[in-house]
Chains A and B, each alone.
Chain A
Amino acid sequence: MSTAAPALAALLAVHRPDLAVAILTESTVDAARPFDLIQFEAAFGATGRRFGTTMLDGAATVSDTTGRSWSIVTWGIDELARALLIVAGIDRVAPAEQVAWLDGLHRAGITRERQAILRCLALLPEPARFLPIALDACRASTQPVFEAIACENPYPAAHFPETSFNHMVLKAVFTEVALTRILGLATRRSTELARMAADYASERTAAGRSVPADLALVLSR
């Protein structure tokens, strides 16, 4: 199992001790039985109505293999449960098929399923492989999908090419998402991002509109 799985399982057990073990069995991600894709997707789909969408709150954090930790207090309990299923389930899929497997789940996913997948990308083995999924989510107009990759998520700062990262930041400004929610923003400031931010500020001013205050976070490199 991925290193993150026991931590997610322990956290889920705090919230739902009655279901934390059961979903691993029902989804066939525990090693006791052969991995069954249909049962996995059935359990993955039913997770929302079984767990509800209450936010975790408290002091929940996770860590990836590089030792980086981040808060997941904004995840819903359903997202935690689904993240556990993915982080544990991916090890049951042949390595060469893991990207296609996750891409299929993401493509067929309802909004909250996609959110859960995006939130745990950084916890998966060799996370850079999943860049197309993350970029697809950045193109989404379904705002919660965009926010699941852009906000409280270390993945973009760690893996996005410069153009994609810069456009994600601008899109966050456009959609009134606070830039302080983008993890690692300071490490990805650049001359080009500062230019794009300045041009946007100029466009707003020319239109007689206010300039969002947190644009200042990227106006200099």
Chain B
Amino acid sequence: MKIFDPHIHMSSRTTADYEAMAAAGITVIVEPAFWLGQPRTHVGTFEDYFGSLLGWEPFRASQFGIRHFCTLALNPKEANDERIAAGVVALLPRYLGKDGVVAVGEIGYDEQTPAEDRWFAEQLELAQRFDLPALVHTPHRDKKRGTERSLALVREAGFPEERVLIDHNTEETLPMVLATGCWAGHSIYPKSKMDEARMAALVRQYGSERIIVNSAADWGVSDPLKVPKTVAVMREQGITDALIETIVWENPVRFFAQSGRLTLDEAPSSADSWEGNSVRRS
């Protein structure tokens, strides 16, 4: 089965993770720009971060036969830091037109402050301007309200709902998202967010339409193999392979293909070898 992990922060993972992901059948990933655990205090560090997501990380992935795409944005948490917020958003137009950028994100809410309102709305406008879909993070705290407010902001902005992926859903937020035209992402985590068995139950209840599953693995307690592990649990629970493949392959492909930049036909270009010389180190 072809597997796409549409939300994973590979910058904080190892080559052993890439190896395991490839062995488990993951061939395409999307790495959203987010925060790094340690707050950043200079706008310039975002230039290097965006550069990594567009250069170094796709190269690392290509060494393992994995296609790497990214989404770029000022994240909701750091949107509250006045030292950097405006400067980072001002950087974005330089990067949003580039190959490999398949959405604006993660945008959305953390504490649901006025600053987050402002930068969420301004970055949705950037997504319109660059003809990109939007990836919306929903908060850990006060999640239901945060999801409602996200959906309301998307509607008020007149942003096409079929071009919005609302992420990190739970049993309580999923019906709210499915009632709109937005797509619903689920992050399968060892402890918080969503787990494999609960996800399988949601799929049995709601089917596969606009449902997406990811690992959201990062530098915290998380697992880059959560998408293939969820596939296994869904199979155990009798969900058909066709339905599973819709969720772990076709849906993320359809969502991100709306960017016009999800090039899956070409081999990973940076893995080119020359006259039999592998680019990998001996």
Binding site for B on A (CB under 8 A): 38, 41-42, 45-46, 48-49, 52-53, 74, 76, 107-114, 141-145, 147, 151, 174-178, 181
Contact = CB atoms under 8 A, between A and B. Distances in A.
Contact of A175 (B51, B270, B281): B281
A41 B94 contact: yes
A108 B99 contact: no
B278 A46 contact: no
A177 B274 contact: yes
Given A45-B97, A46-B99, A143-B59, 15 more contacts: A38-B93, A41-B94, A45-B99, A49-B261, A108-B50, A108-B51, A108-B94, A110-B99, A111-B59, A111-B269, A144-B270, A144-B279, A151-B274, A177-B277, A178-B277
Contacts of A107: 47, 51
A41 B59 contact: no
A128 to B, nearest CB: 26
A112 to B, nearest CB: 7
B281 A114 contact: no
23 contacts: A48-B99, A76-B269, A107-B51, A108-B47, A108-B50, A108-B51, A108-B94, A110-B98, A111-B54, A111-B58, A112-B99, A142-B56, A142-B270, A144-B59, A144-B269, A144-B272, A147-B274, A174-B281, A175-B279, A175-B281, A176-B281, A178-B275, A178-B277
Given A41-B97, A45-B98, A108-B94, A114 B55 contact: yes
A70 B153 CA distance: 56
Chain B interface category by residue count? 20 to 34
Contacts of B278: 176
B87 interface: no
Contacts of B56: 141-142
Nearest to A146: B279
A177 B277 CA distance: 6
Contact of B270 (A74, A108, A143, A176): A143
A181 B270 CA distance: 17
A142 B272 CA distance: 12
B64 interface: no
B113 interface: no
A38 B266 CA distance: 29
Interface string B49-80: 01100111011000000000000000000000
A178 B274 contact: yes
B159 interface: no
B270 A111 contact: yes
B54 A110 contact: yes
Name which of A42, A52, A143, A174 has the most chain B CB atoms within 10 A of its CB. A143
Contacts of B272: 144
Nearest to A50: B99
- The 9 tightest CB contacts between A and B, nearest first, are A45-B97, A48-B99, A143-B279, A110-B54, A142-B59, A45-B98, A144-B270, A111-B55, A42-B97
Contacts of B133: none
B55 A110 contact: yes
A87 B282 CA distance: 37
B260 interface: yes
B263 interface: yes
Report which residue of A45, A48, A76 has the largest number of chain B beta carbons within 10 angstroms of its beta carbon. A45
B178 to A, nearest CB: 32
A176 B260 CA distance: 35
